[in-house]
Amino acid sequence: MKNAAPLDQLDDIALLIKAHHPLILLETLDDQRASKLLEHLADRHKIPFFVWKFHKGLMRNGANQKPIYGTSAPAQAIEHLLSSNLEAVYYFQDFLAHVDRNEIISRLKELHEKFIHHRAALIATGTHPDLPEELEHLFTRVKLRPPSKQDYYLYLNDLLRDLRQRMPVAVTLDQAGVNQLLNGLRGLSLLEVQKIITKAVVETQRFDQETLSHVLKAKEETIERSGVLEFFPTQDKFGDIAGLDALKQWLQKRSKIFSDTERARQFGLSAPKGILLFGVQGCGKSLCAKAVAAEWGLPLVRLDPSNLYQKYVGESEENLKRAIETAEAMAPIVLWIDEIEKAFGQAHGQDGGVSSRIFGTLLSWMQDKQAEVFVIATSNNISELPPELMRKGRFDEIFFVDLPKAHIRRQILELHIRRRGHALDALDLDRLSELTEGFSGAELEQAVV
C-alpha cells in the first residue's frame, strides 16, 4: 500500500529518529501496515531498513536478501546491532514477548546508550504492551492511527487491479455500495482486508453487494474477539416499529450524515453523538437500537456494562478502554449500551472507586469523542442515572418510550399477525386494541403468539 499512514504520522516517527530516540514502541496490531509504513519512512529519508522475525533473524529489506547469520535469537540480533554501528531503522516483529529476560533488558539498555548518539532506532510493535519497569522510560510510545477511509480506498484499488490481472472480475458496486463497503472495512487490518476481499472475489469472480456481506462477517468476528463487545445482526427497519414518530423523524433527519460523511463535514455538520431512551420495559427501546443500525446501514455492537467489571485491580478500567478503542476503530458504528443504569446508576458505590473511575472515563469519552460512534443507551429507570450523564453534550437528545396508545397497539397487533402469515380480515383489531389497554409492545406480541 503506497499510503500506509498519513504523512504527518510518518513525519512524527521520522522526527523521533532524527531527535535520537533509539527505542520506539509503535502501538498497533497491524504488523503488515507497520512494516509498510516503516519501509516508506526509510525510503523517504534514505535510511537502511531491516526487519527481524523470531527464528528467521535480521534481514535487510530488498529483493533476494537473506537473513543475517546468527541473528535468529533476540539477544543475538541486538548484539549484531551493537557491533554493526549502522544508522538504520530496525523493525522487530513479535519482539515484546522476549523483553522480560534479563539478558535482553541489559542489552537494550546498552543499545539505548549507544544509539542515542546517532540516527538509528529499534522499533517494536504491540497494543497496550506492558514493558518491564526498567525499560518503560527508555521506550518512546507512538500510537499508529488506524487507516482512514481514503487509505482503504487506495488499498482496494491496488488489490482489485492485481486480481483483475489474474482473472476476470465483474465490478458492479455503485457509489453508495462502495461507501458502505469502505465503512465496513473500518477497524480491519490490511492483512484482514486482503484475505476477505481476495477470498470473496476469487470465489465468485465478482466485486458486488455479496462482497459486503463477507466484510461484515469478518467484522463480527473481530468485534467478538474483543471479549467486551457483542455484535448484533440488524434486520429490523423503522417500518417494524409502531409509533415513536418523533424519534423516527429525529433519526431520519440525521441518517445522511453517516451515509455521506465527507459531504456532511464540508457542510459543517459533525456526527451526532447519541440518544438516551428510557421508559417502560418491553416498549421497543432495544428494537429501536437494532432498527437504527439497519436503517443507517451501520454495524450494531452491544456493550453490556456488567461485562466490564472484573476482580483484578485495573482490569475493569482496561475493559472499558478496550471497548471504546474497538468501537472507534470500527467507526462509523452504532454502540448500544443496554440498561445503562445497572452499571453507572450507582457510580459512587462501595467498590473501591472502580465504578467512579469507569464512569468518569465514559463521561470524558462521550463529551470529547470525535469518532463516528453513535451511542444508543437504554434505561428502565432514569432516576438512578447521575445528572451529569444526561446533560447536553453527552447525548444529543433524550426520548421517553411510554406504553402504546390505542392506535399504536392496533399497529403492533397488525405487525405481529402479518409477520406470522395470518390474514387480518377475520379479526376486530379495534376491539382488540381496546381490550389490551395497558399492554406493552412485548406483551402484545406474546398475546398474538
Per-residue pLDDT of the chain (449 residues; tens, 9 = 90+): 444 455 667 888 889 999 999 999 988 877 878 888 888 888 888 889 999 988 888 999 876 678 888 898 888 999 999 998 888 999 998 787 778 778 888 999 999 999 998 888 998 887 666 788 888 899 999 888 878 788 888 888 888 889 988 889 888 888 878 887 887 787 787 888 888 889 888 888 888 888 888 887 777 777 777 667 888 766 666 666 777 778 888 888 887 777 667 777 788 777 788 888 888 787 778 888 887 887 787 788 888 777 776 655 567 777 888 888 888 877 788 899 888 887 665 544 555 567 777 888 888 888 888 888 899 988 888 888 888 888 777 888 888 888 888 888 888 888 888 888 777 777 888 888 888 888 888 888 888 88
* C-alpha–C-alpha distance, residues 257 and 263, integer Å: 8
Environment class of 345 (CB within 10 Å of its CB; exposed 0-12, middle 13-18, buried 19+): buried
Helix (H, G, I), strand (E, B) or coil at 60: strand
- Report the amino acid identity of residue 271: A
* C-alpha–C-alpha distance, residues 342 and 384, integer Å: 9
How far is CA 140 from each of CA 19, 121, 131, 137, rounded to the nearest angstrom?
A: 12, 11, 11, 8
Report residue 260 as a C-alpha cell: 455521506
Shortest CA distance to 318 belongs to which of 361, 353, 349, 351? 361
Judge whether 222 and 374 are in contact, CB under 8 Å: no
**What are the residues whose beta carbons fall under 8 Å from the beta carbon of 324, sequence distance 6 or more?**
361, 365
* C-alpha–C-alpha distance, residues 34 and 93, integer Å: 10
How far is CA 143 from each of CA 24, 89, 151, rounded to the nearest angstrom?
A: 10, 18, 17
Hunting for cell 504491540 — which residue is that? 126
Look at residue 348 in the predicted model and tell me its pLDDT.
Answer: 47
Q: Is the peptide bond before 6 cis (omega within 30 degrees of 0)?
A: no
* C-alpha–C-alpha distance, residues 438 and 71, integer Å: 75
Hunting for cell 478500567 — which residue is that? 317
Distance of CA 61 to the CA centre of its chain: 31
* C-alpha–C-alpha distance, residues 216 and 220, integer Å: 6
411 phi, psi to nearest 5 deg: -65, -40
* C-alpha–C-alpha distance, residues 165 and 156, integer Å: 14
DSSP string, 97-127: GGTTSHHHHHHHHHHHHHHTTSS-EEEEEES
Hunting for cell 444508543 — which residue is that? 376
* C-alpha–C-alpha distance, residues 186 and 127, integer Å: 18
Biggest CA-to-CA distance, the chain: 91
